[in-house]
Amino acid sequence: MSTVRHIALLICALCCASIASAQPVALVEANRLYQAGDLPGARALLDGAVRGPELAQSPEAWVLRGFVYKDLYKGMDPGPEADVIRDEALASLFTSTVVDTAKEYAQSSLQAYDFLCKTMYNDAARALNELSEERALALYSKYKESVLRVDPKHTFMARDIEFDNALGTVYTKRFNQDREDTTWFAKAVDLYKHVLFLDTNNYGANYNLATLYYNRGVYNIQRINPGTDLPTIGQVQEVSKVYFMQALPYMLKAHRMNPKRRETLLGLEGIHYSLQETDKSEEYRHKYEALDMETRPDAPREAPKDK
């Protein structure tokens, strides 16, 4: 049994033991059904009970309804139907904190509320992994609204950085699927730049933005074919050079942050090669090869020195 559920059962048991005689039968019966595992039965009773004058301001009724809906949500597969049930759980738990002026159930209500908010964020992250960015954006917006409802001064910088980096990756994948549609490219660039506005030393945003610019330049050059005339080739090369130059400072920043990362060494090799800076390209190639030698299991080791 989870700690939160144990707390909920304990609260409900104490509630019924101490004030059962003063509470309407519906609340006592709903608590009995909940403890017996009959969540649909408890839900049906509480849905009607909280609408009536007797229990509309009852902290016990709202906190119990919140836990009933929370447990119903936990038994469902992620999706729109589960979202509705979670929303009801959050609404009930929040109402319980409002009407519970004595703060008897505040701790358990807020713990359950926080758990549900975290599941909402996790669902947003899952949606990004599934390339369902519209659902992810809706869930993330609702997640922030839900947190602010109980904690108006809460800051989301760390979450925003994490979410925007992941969303930028989704937009990059969209662009790679159809590079003729530059809308996704622009959206990805804006997101990564926003992350860097929040955290200029964010490794992921620096590296991803550099890679995005570099790949855009490479793609332009790859479109050149034997039938392309010389003026057009010159124009394409100039445009691509601009993208390579835009990529360079971000890749250098990522490399300075972690000089042992292979991907930045390869990235700098490729960027300088594309800019026709052969010496610098070879410099990073040698650094990559040296790093590779350092980490190979069969790499020669320095002989031990006499003491």
- 145 with 206, same domain? no
- 141 with 289, same domain? no
pLDDT, tens digit, 9 for 90 and up, residues 48-67: 989 988 888 999 999 999 99
pLDDT grade, residue 241 (50/70/90)? very high
pLDDT, tens digit, 9 for 90 and up, residues 185-214: 999 999 999 999 999 999 999 999 999 999
pLDDT, tens digit, 9 for 90 and up, residues 136-154: 999 999 999 999 999 999 9
- 74 with 221, same domain? no
**Residue written as tokens 């700098």?**
268
Q: Which of residues 110, 134, 154 is at a domain's end?
A: 154
- 167 with 266, same domain? yes
Query: What average pLDDT is seen over the chain?
Result: 88
Decide: residue 156, CB within 10 A, 0-12 exposed, 13-18 middle, 19+ buried.
middle
Q: Which of 124-133, 173-182, 262-271, 290-299 has the lowest mean pLDDT?
A: 290-299
| Domain count for the chain | 2
Q: Which of residues 119, 154, 189 is at a domain's end?
A: 154
Domain carrying residue 86: 1-154
Question: Is 33 among the domain residues?
Answer: yes
Question: Is 102 among the domain residues?
Answer: yes
Is the pLDDT confidence value at 302 over 80?
A: no
Question: Is 300 among the domain residues?
Answer: no
- 142 with 165, same domain? no
Query: What's the pLDDT at 292?
Result: 75
Question: Is 305 among the domain residues?
Answer: no
Q: Which of 7-11, 233-237, 253-257 has the lowest mean pLDDT?
A: 7-11
Is the pLDDT confidence value at 235 over 50?
A: yes
Q: Which of residues 109, 127, 154 is at a domain's end?
A: 154
- 185 with 278, same domain? yes
Find the CATH number of the domain harbouring 70.
Answer: 1.25.40
- 183 with 65, same domain? no
